[in-house]
């Protein structure tokens, strides 16, 4: 079952793009211009991923020591941009787990 879900997507980038979690490119002449997220694909799955990322970022705001990556991202980017970036990362992790099998273990490198 998991193999059927990941087969149409050769790589994690294609999976995240199909959910609409990547910027829409408007590039020409070798100059890369990225626009807003494309919002294509399954809107419910995208909504759930962004909602989970929002919750994770709110937790990172309250407890900065708990999530080093999210805290650094919030320092550089606005909250909603960081939420979509984290949702993109979560979608890539989900694709990797579906494609390769296994279980998710949070890193304890902090």
Per-residue pLDDT tens over the stretch 11-69: 656 777 777 777 766 777 777 766 666 667 778 888 899 999 999 999 999 988 877 88
CA–CA dist 22, 94 (Å, integer)? 16
Chain position carrying tokens 């579906």: 98
Tell me what pLDDT residue 36 has: 65
pLDDT tier at 2, thresholds 50, 70, 90: very low
* Segment 73-92 mean pLDDT: 89
Tell me what pLDDT residue 57 has: 93
What does R_g of the chain's alpha carbons equal in angstroms? 15
């Amino acid at each position: 079952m998991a193999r059927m879900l990941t087969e149409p997507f050769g790589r994690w980038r294609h999976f995240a793009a199909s959910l609409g979690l990547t910027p829409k490119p408007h590039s020409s002449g070798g100059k890369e211009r990225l626009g807003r997220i494309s919002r294509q694909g399954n809107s419910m799955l995208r909504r759930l991923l962004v909602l989970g990322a929002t919750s994770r970022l709110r937790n990172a705001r309250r407890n900065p020591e708990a999530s080093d990556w999210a805290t650094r991202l919030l320092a550089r980017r606005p909250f909603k941009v960081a939420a979509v970036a984290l949702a993109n990362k979560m979608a890539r992790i989900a694709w990797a787990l579906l494609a390769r099998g296994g279980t998710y273990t949070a890193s304890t490198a902090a």
